[in-house]
């Protein structure tokens, strides 16, 4: 048994939690859109072809902003292919995923679906094969009321009101050699700043996200951010971070400490952005949009899923359909802890992705939809993490990992909502075999009671929810939680994620 101690004090605030931290991502990739959110032949499809069961699950998940339409896909995408009469829309090669894009879902359909799930649109423009003009065109189509060719086209397509999209991504992962149009940081920075300036001539109040590195392991990491921000600093609001984690060679100790890597990643990008701020003597601060994060068995994609045959361009193939286990969900919940811990600078984030593709929600064509293990920490955190992030004092033993150095056995973050008086604590026990007896000093909170205490844990850390056993893994009450003399005592099982609320 490991002992740990945590002190919470609502006076020590990191920063407000922006609801956009609980965003997600829908890409035209595999079965995310087609046979995912959209399946007109499904018995539960609505009049627009959207699956009602998926809409219900997305609402339950509690996602705020949804990034669309890619991802790698966007760097070859012609947005205008996806608007207007459906039977006139072209079928195109999607080079990013070696698939056929039918364009049966485009901006208008996706925006309609967003209304149904109650989320905000975050739109990515193509800076891979396209540039300033096409970004202006889609902005005109989406955000101008009427009276110009493209805005009138939207109205003619049945959408009277402009979408007023606030957040725009200036391309995707432009540092990656796999990306169509990938270039040097200087080349991308120039294109991004020209695009940003032009878009701001339409609407100076847009919130613009410039591409940071595709991961902290990229060869130009740090340098890429510096150069890109030197070019774009005055014109953008966010720099993006992307990170995916998977266990390597059965090293679960390192895998469970993935959030240590995410913490460092965020802090390095903040340091780089602030370095550029200092050099420029700027008053403005650039925030992070962590607009792709998840557990992703990326090596499986490279070895099993990837399509390369020049004659094979399937529609909606099964790609990146990772099945998530309990240990994956614990790491995932810990990544959310890392994002919330940095709420002062990470003010937007997108779980990549939403349905079928490295997703918390899975569907079977003509069949059911179900929650993966990762669904639970996301949904509960999105519901409970309100108000501000608190600074914590955590005393806990650490262990040595091969990939991330020393890692604390327990990781934690706490949030406090002044308007309701509610405090929420999110915890992971990274130990593979030992329980942690955690004592939380809650004395400063006064006379509180436990609202709920729930854990995600299973004696088999590889247990997962599948088509045949969709409810195998779920959250369970953690009955060990008890309050005594200004302290909360709780036992955290090995490889577990826990959320406790105090009111």
* Residues annotated as catalytic (active site), given as ranges: 173, 292
Closer CB to ligand AHR, 372 or 401, in the complex: 372
Which residue, 296, 269, 299, 298, is CA-closest to 285? 269
Question: Which lies closer to ligand AHR via its Cβ, residue 94 or residue 458?
Answer: 94
Q: Where are the alpha helices (DSSP H) in 22-78?
A: 52-61
H or E element in which residue 193 lies: helix 185-202
Shortest CB 385 distance to ligand AHR, Å: 23
Burial of 81 (0-12, 13-18, 19+ CB in 10 A): middle
Question: What's the CA gap between 17 and 343, in Å, rounded?
Answer: 6
Alpha-carbon span 192 to 234, nearest angstrom: 12
Neighbour tally for 275: CB within 10 Å: 15
Give the shortest CB-27-to-ligand AHR separation in angstroms: 5
* 244 vs 252, beta carbon nearer ligand AHR: 244
Cβ atoms of 17 and 343 within 8 Å: the answer is: yes
Q: How far is the CB of 262 from ligand AHR (least distance, A)?
A: 16
Provide CB contacts within 8 A for 235, sequence distance 6+: 192, 193, 196, 197, 200, 208
CA distance 40 to 44: 9
CB 270 within 8 A of CB 345: yes
**SS3 category, 395:** strand
HSE-CB at 26 with a 13 A cutoff on CA atoms is 31
Q: Which is nearer to ligand AHR, 233 or 238 (CB)?
A: 238
Q: Which one, 109 or 291, has the nearer CB to ligand AHR? A: 291
Q: What is the dihedral of CA 93, 96, 98, 99, to 10 degrees?
A: -60
Residue whose CB is nearest to ligand AHR in the complex, by number: 71
Are 214 and 176 in contact by the 8 Å Cβ rule? The answer is yes
H helices of 310-408, where? Answer: 326-341, 375-384
Nearer CB in complex with ligand AHR: 233/332: 332
- Alpha helices, DSSP H, located in 237-325: 252-256, 258-280, 298-300
Rounded least distance, CB 176 to ligand AHR, Å: 7
Could you tell me the smallest distance in angstroms from the CB atom of residue 108 to ligand AHR? 22
**In angstroms, what is the minimal distance from the CB of 461 to ligand AHR?**
25
Please say whether the beta carbons of 75 and 172 come within 8 A.
Answer: yes
Binding site for ligand AHR (CB under 6 A): 27, 70-72, 172-173, 214, 292, 352-353
Minimal distance, residue 370 CB to ligand AHR, in Å: 21
- For ligand AHR, the closer of residues 32 and 502 by Cβ is 32
For tokens 């003597």, the residue is 281
């Amino acid at each position: 048994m490991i002992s740990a101690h945590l002190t919470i004090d609502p006076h020590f605030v990191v920063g407000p939690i922006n609801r956009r931290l609980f965003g997600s991502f829908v890409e035209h990739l595999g079965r995310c859109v087609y046979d995912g959110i959209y399946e007109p032949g499904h018995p539960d499809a609505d009049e627009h072809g959207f699956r009602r069961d998926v809409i219900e699950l997305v609402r339950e998940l509690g996602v705020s902003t949804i990034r669309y339409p890619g991802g790698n896909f966007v760097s070859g995408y012609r947005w205008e292919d996806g608007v207007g009469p459906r039977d006139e829309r072209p079928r195109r090669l999607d080079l990013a995923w070696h698939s056929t894009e039918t364009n049966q879902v485009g901006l208008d359909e996706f925006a309609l679906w967003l209304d149904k799930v109650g989320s905000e649109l975050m739109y990515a423009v193509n800076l891979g094969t396209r540039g300033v003009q096409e970004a202006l065109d889609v902005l005109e189509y989406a955000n101008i009321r009427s009276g110009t060719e493209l805005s009138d086209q939207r109205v003619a397509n049945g959408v009277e009101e402009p979408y007023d999209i606030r957040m725009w991504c200036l391309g995707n992962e432009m540092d990656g050699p796999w990306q169509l149009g990938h270039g040097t940081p200087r080349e991308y920075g120039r294109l991004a700043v020209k695009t940003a300036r032009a878009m701001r001539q339409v609407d100076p109040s847009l919130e613009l996200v410039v591409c940071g590195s595709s991961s902290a392991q990229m060869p130009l990491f740090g340098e890429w951010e510096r150069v890109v921000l030197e070019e774009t600093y005055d014109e953008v609001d966010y720099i993006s971070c992307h990170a995916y984690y998977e266990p390597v060679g059965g090293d679960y100790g390192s895998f469970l400490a993935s959030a240590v890597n995410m913490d460092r990643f965020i802090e390095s990008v903040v340091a780089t952005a602030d370095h550029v701020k200092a050099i420029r003597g700027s008053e403005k601060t650039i925030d992070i949009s962590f607009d792709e994060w998840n557990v992703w068995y990326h090596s499986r994609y490279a070895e099993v899923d990837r399509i390369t045959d020049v004659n094979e361009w399937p529609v909606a193939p099964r790609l990146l359909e990772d099945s998530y286990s309990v240990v994956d969900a614990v790491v995932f919940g810990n990544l959310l802890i890392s994002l919330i811990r940095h709420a002062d600078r990470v003010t937007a984030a997108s779980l990549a992705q939403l349905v079928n593709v490295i997703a918390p929600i899975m569907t079977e064509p003509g069949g059911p939809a179900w929650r993966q293990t990762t669904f639970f920490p996301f949904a509960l955190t999105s519901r409970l993490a309100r108000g501000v992030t608190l600074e914590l004092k955590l005393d806990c033993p650490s262990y040595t990992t091969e990939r991330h150095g020393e890692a604390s056995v327990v990781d934690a973050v706490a949030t406090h909502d002044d308007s309701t008086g509610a405090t929420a604590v999110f915890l992971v026990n990274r130990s593979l075999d030992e329980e942690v007896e955690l004592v939380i000093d809650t004395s400063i909170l006064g006379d509180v009671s436990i609202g709920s205490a729930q854990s995600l844990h299973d004696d088999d850390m590889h247990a997962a929810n599948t088509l045949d056993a969709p409810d195998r893994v779920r959250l369970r009450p953690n009955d060990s939680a008890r309050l005594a003399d200004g302290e909360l005592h709780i036992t955290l099982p090995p490889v577990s994620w826990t959320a406790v609320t105090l009111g």
